[in-house]
Every structure is written in C-alpha cells, then in structure tokens.
C-alpha cells in the first residue's frame, strides 16, 4: 500500500512539473512575440532605440515604447538620446509643394528646460528664422502641416494639418547636434541638446 501511495505521489509531481514547464514555455513564447521587431528602417535612416505610434506614412522602427502623450502634454518628459550625435544632417531630401508653403507660413514652438520640464521660451516662427537661448541655436528650415516620407523624400501629403511638424537644424556652441523633423503630436526625435528640448505647439496659416 505504501509503495502504491508513493508511486501515485511521484506521478502527480511529474504531471505538475510538466504542466509548469508548458506554462513557462507558453509565457516565454508570448513574451518573445511581444518583443518582435516592428520592421526595418529604410537605408540611410538613423537608428531609433524605441518604438512609438508613428505618424501616418512614417516608416516602421524597431524596439518598443508606449504611445507618447498627444500635443504638448508631457513635453518635459521627452525620451533623451533618441538619435546618435552623428545625426547632423537630413538623410532624405525635402520637397514641399508651393501651395503648402504659401498656406502654412508660421509655427508656435517652445523651448523646454529638460531638468525642470518647464517652458523657458516660446516663439512664433517662420521658415528662415533662428531661435537663440544661451549657447543653443535652432534654425527653422521648413514648416509642414502633413509631414510624410513619400517617394524617398520628406513632403506634405496634403494641405491640411494632419501631421504638423517643423524641420530644424539645432546647434550647441556652433556645432550641429540635430537636423530633421520635430513633430507636434509624436515625440520621436530630439535635438540632442544637453539642456533644452524643442516642442511644436501648432503650425499656422499665413
């Protein structure tokens, strides 16, 4: 009787261990599938360490990150170091339709202190303007209401503010730290500045 009881307990323990193993294996597969890369960047696009919900038409990126706050909410909590310091020039040409340029001439932008999250400067700018604060200098290159990457170039897909952005060149002590788009609704890119961040509140008609 004791031998039968012992044999039964051993069999029960084996079944339990096997069940746990299957459960762990299932959990591992689920975790692996959640971390699968979303896609590859096009040739010449700078690497991005995190993934967020992207603007329509933007190429997929690898990694994982939650959806950023919309508009100006949480601008002080931008993800630092999204681009390497070598991202110092546009990797794609810019071709904005003339009608769009005539319609959307201005943008409301803010400079945010990264240590406090507070806005330290706000300005209404147009293409060609320059913003200066301390040793930081930001050139406004383009104002775009519906920025998309199409036919291997940056353009405005429509003349409506569906995906507002400004394309800028940022410098620190005269050295270019970033050149590319800063979106209003998506915190994808930073200007690689040690102290400040740039945010877009809105693009405006002329």
Per residue in 132-187, pLDDT (tens digit) is 999 999 999 999 999 999 999 999 999 999 999 999 999 999 999 999 999 999 88
The phi and psi torsions of 18 (rounded to 5 degrees) equal -65, -40
Q: How far apart are the first and last CA of the chain?
A: 93
Q: Is the overall model pTM greater than 0.85, yes or no?
A: no
Kindly report, residue by residue over 81-130, the tens digit of the pLDDT.
344 444 678 888 999 999 999 999 999 999 999 999 999 999 999 999 99
Element (H, E) at 86: none
For the chain, give every domain's residue range.
75-205
**Beta strand residue intervals within 50-146, DSSP E:** 104-113, 119-126, 130-133, 136-144
């Amino acid at each position: 009787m004791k031998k039968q009881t012992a044999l039964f307990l051993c069999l029960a323990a084996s079944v339990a261990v096997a069940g746990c193993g299957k459960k762990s294996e299932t959990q591992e597969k689920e975790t692996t599938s959640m971390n699968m890369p979303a896609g590859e960047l096009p040739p010449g696009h700078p690497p991005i360490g995190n993934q967020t919900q992207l603007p329509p038409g933007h190429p997929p990126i690898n990694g994982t990150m939650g959806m950023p706050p919309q508009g100006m909410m949480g601008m002080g909590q931008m993800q630092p170091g999204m681009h390497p310091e070598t991202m110092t020039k546009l990797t794609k040409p810019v071709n904005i339709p003339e009608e769009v340029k005539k319609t959307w001439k201005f943008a409301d932008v803010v400079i945010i202190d990264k240590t406090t999250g507070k806005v330290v400067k706000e300005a209404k700018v147009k293409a060609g303007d320059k913003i200066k604060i301390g040793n930081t200098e930001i050139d406004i290159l383009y104002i775009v209401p519906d920025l998309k990457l199409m036919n291997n170039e940056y353009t405005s897909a429509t003349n409506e503010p569906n995906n507002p952005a400004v394309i800028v060149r940022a410098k620190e002590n005269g050295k270019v730290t970033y050149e590319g788009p800063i979106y209003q609704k998506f915190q994808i890119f930073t200007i690689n500045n040690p102290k400040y961040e740039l945010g877009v509140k809105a693009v405006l008609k002329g």
